[in-house]
Amino acid sequence: MTELSVASLLFLSGTLLAIGLFGILTRRNFILLLIAVEIAMNAAILNFVYFAAFAGTSSGLSGQAIAVVLVGLAATEIAVGLAIVLALNRQRGSINVGEATTLKL
Amino acid sequence: MSVEELAFLALAAVAVGTALLSLLVRELVHTILWVSVFFVSLSAIYFLLSAPFLGVLQLGVYAGAVTILLLFGVMVTRKRIFSKEVATGIGPFPFALAVVAMVILALAAASLPQPVTVVRGYDVTLLSAQLFQVDGAWLVLLGCVMLSALAGAIYLVREGRE
């Protein structure tokens, strides 16, 4: 039977969230921005999975079900993000978010 | 220290290292390769936490689909796919600050009481019953979101839009 301490797991997901936030705040390339968002989102999904692993049957199963839904949502977000990247690249010739200063793509 | 704890520590180190590397390297293609290693290490952590279905889902959706989508995005938006980014990396002062904050947080986490909890696995049949019977509304909602996202993505990239 696997035994793990909660503090180390929480520390891991907190660190991953911090790395994702660092990327969101500092990177200017849209694709890098998307990757940073994915890293932060994976930290959240990790939280759901390991609290599910420590909880009782019914609430634990709910945690895993929410994690499945979140994985789908993250994939959807990447698809829409890449559509925005393509539109931005066609309109401006670059995918630097600093150059996208108007709402009209 | 048990084998599971050692494996978890190694996987956590790989996850944090590759996440950092993916945001710090200068070539966008290398970024995507590192982030795929990050996704695989997270999937291994899910297997360690007795969530094999989520581990497989992570491998298929993230390490497979998302990585390929990102690579595709890089390939269609630049002429030379190995060209370097202008400004990446991190300055010495923010890096030192981050290291100090990490050490303080690690010490704080180590000073907490460390209840070692037994990880429990669930049968995949139980999970599927939960997904499709109890939490079925969430799946329907996810389907609606995905459908509208598909429509939105097609609207964004369609030809002849001013």
Question: Is pLDDT of B19 > 70?
Answer: yes
Number of domains in chain B: 2
Of residues B126, B142, B149, nearest to A61 (C-beta): B126
Question: Is pLDDT of B67 > 70?
Answer: yes
Better-scored residue on pLDDT, B69 or A56: B69
Give the CB-side neighbour count of residue B83, counting CA atoms within 13 A: 8
Residues B15 and B75 in one domain: yes
Chain Cα centroid distance, residue B16 = 11
Residues B152 and B77 in one domain: no
Question: Is pLDDT of B16 > 90?
Answer: yes
Among candidates B142, B118, B138, which has minimal Cα distance to B130? Answer: B138
Residues B66 and B19 in one domain: yes
Name the band, by pLDDT with cuts 50, 70 and 90, for residue B161.
low
Yes or no, beta carbons of A35 and B23 under 8 Å apart: yes
Question: Is pLDDT of A10 > 90?
Answer: no
Q: Which of A77-81, B5-9, B76-80, B81-85 has the lowest mean pLDDT?
A: B81-85
Asked whether residue B126 is assigned to any structural domain, the reply reads yes
Whether B26 and B98 have beta carbons less than 8 Å apart is answered as: no
Q: pLDDT tens for residues B114-129?
A: 766 777 777 888 888 8
Alpha helices in chain A (DSSP H): 6-26, 30-54, 57-92
Residues B65 and B127 in one domain: no
Q: What percent of chain A lies above the pLDDT cut of 70? A: 94
Q: Does domain A8-93 match CATH 3.10.129.10?
A: no
Whether B124 and A61 have beta carbons less than 8 Å apart is answered as: no
Q: pLDDT tens for residues A43-92?
A: 999 999 888 887 767 777 888 889 999 999 999 999 999 998 888 888 87
Question: Is pLDDT of B83 > 90?
Answer: no
Of residues A2, A36, A76, nearest to B4 (C-beta): A2
pLDDT, mean of residues B43-69? 91
Residues B75 and B19 in one domain: yes
Q: pLDDT tens for residues A14-35?
A: 999 999 998 898 888 889 999 9
* pLDDT recorded at residue B130: 85
Residues B139 and B59 in one domain: no
Residues B5 and B64 in one domain: yes
- Quickly tell me which residue has 């925005």 as its tokens: A84
Residue A29 bridge partners (DSSP): A96
Classify residue A63 by its DSSP letter: H
Yes or no, beta carbons of B77 and A27 under 8 Å apart: no
Domain span including residue B30:
1-88
- The pLDDT mean for chain B works out to 85
Asked whether residue B146 is assigned to any structural domain, the reply reads yes
> In B116-129, which positions are buried (b, 16+ CB within 10 angstroms) versus exposed (e)?
ebebbebeeeebee
**Rounded CA separation A1/B4 (Å):** 9
**Rounded CA separation B140/A69 (Å):** 10
Asked whether residue B96 is assigned to any structural domain, the reply reads no
Better-scored residue on pLDDT, B90 or B52: B52
Residues B77 and B5 in one domain: yes
Question: Is pLDDT of A40 > 70?
Answer: yes
Residues across chain A: 105
User: Cβ neighbours of residue A53 under 8 Å, at least 6 residues apart?
Assistant: A60, B49, B50, B51, B119, B120, B121
Yes or no, beta carbons of B77 and A86 under 8 Å apart: yes
Phi/psi of residue A29, each to 5°? -80, 130
Pick the residue from chain A with its C-alpha nearest to B121: A53
User: Cβ neighbours of residue A67 under 8 Å, at least 6 residues apart?
Assistant: A45, A48, A49, A52, B51, B54
* pLDDT recorded at residue A94: 78
Residues B127 and B68 in one domain: no
Residue B117 bridge partners (DSSP): A4
Asked whether residue B97 is assigned to any structural domain, the reply reads no
